[in-house]
Structure 1
Amino acid sequence: MDSPKEPQPSGEFKCQLCGLTAPYTYYGQKPPNTCSIELLEDCYVMKDPFTPDKEKILILGSLCSLCGLSVCIGAECSLFYSKRFCLPCVNENLQAFPLEIQEDMDRRKPQKKSFPGKKMDTRT
């Protein structure tokens, strides 16, 4: 009798925004060896390498539902609001998102730091 084999990588996932790469073992909504998990979107998934539990998985990323870009689930690259959206598409279509998402995106924007007690160098 053959023993069950570990899922072999199906390919390499690469986030087209930040460059994160990782081997994935499954793409879809119902990863194998996970009885109770059904994802809300098609995702690139790998077995969690930090645990021997076969039901533990890591979700690497998905495709942007607008432009099709392959993006990781990191907050710097994408957000999930009923579907996955890359941040460039979110920013281009910000008015189409609910106010809560718009406010969240405003908070994510890098703020210019000012140093009120520090004078600029005025040498000429």
Structure 2
Amino acid sequence: MEPSEKTQHPSTFECELCGLTAPYSYYGQKPPNPYSVALLEKSYVMKDPFTPDKDKFLILGSHCSLCCKHVCVGTDCSLFYSKRFCLPCVKLHLKEFPLEIKQDLEKKTHSKSQSSKKPDSKDSKKS
């Protein structure tokens, strides 16, 4: 069941990939604010808790346009390329994406494997 675009009461968004949970106050493309911002996708939005400005908001996530999973906007979970895609779907359909997306994904995978191979700083200082 998809939430109403006019959701104003707090509900909880949960990323199905990383488990991030956060209360959202709005779902849709036009968050209620005086700036008339229109988002490119229906998104789960919360008021920004880091600022006293009540008109500022954070985008938590959306639905993958292929598998419909709830995914956060974190780069380890999804990407936006005209639509929101979860990374598992991107990997499954990689040949259908532009070369730049493939290169970015390879860089990210390479940097993760390099960071997991770095020696612990405590070990490197031993004499």
Whether these two folds match at TM > 0.5 is yes
SS in 1 for 2:113: coil
Change (3 A) 1:114 1:46: closer
- Residue correspondence of structure 1 range 82-101 to structure 2 within 5 A: 82-101=82-101
Which 4+ runs in 1 deviate beyond 3 A? 112-115
Aligned length: 108
CA distance in 2 between counterparts of 1:74 and 1:34 reads: 27
Match of 1:111 among 103, 106, 113: 113
1:75-100 Cα distance to aligned partner (Å, 9 max, x none): 00000000000000000000000000
TM-score, scaled relative to structure 2: 0.80
Change (3 A) 1:34 1:42: farther
- Higher helix fraction: Structure 1 or Structure 2? 2
Shift of 1:114: 8.3
Give unpaired runs (5+ residues) of structure 1. 1-6, 116-124
Shift of 1:37: 1.1
Percent identical residues: 64
Quote the residue 2:26 is aligned against.
Answer: 26
1:22-61 Cα distance to aligned partner (Å, 9 max, x none): 0000000000124231100000000001112122000000
TM-score, scaled relative to structure 1: 0.81
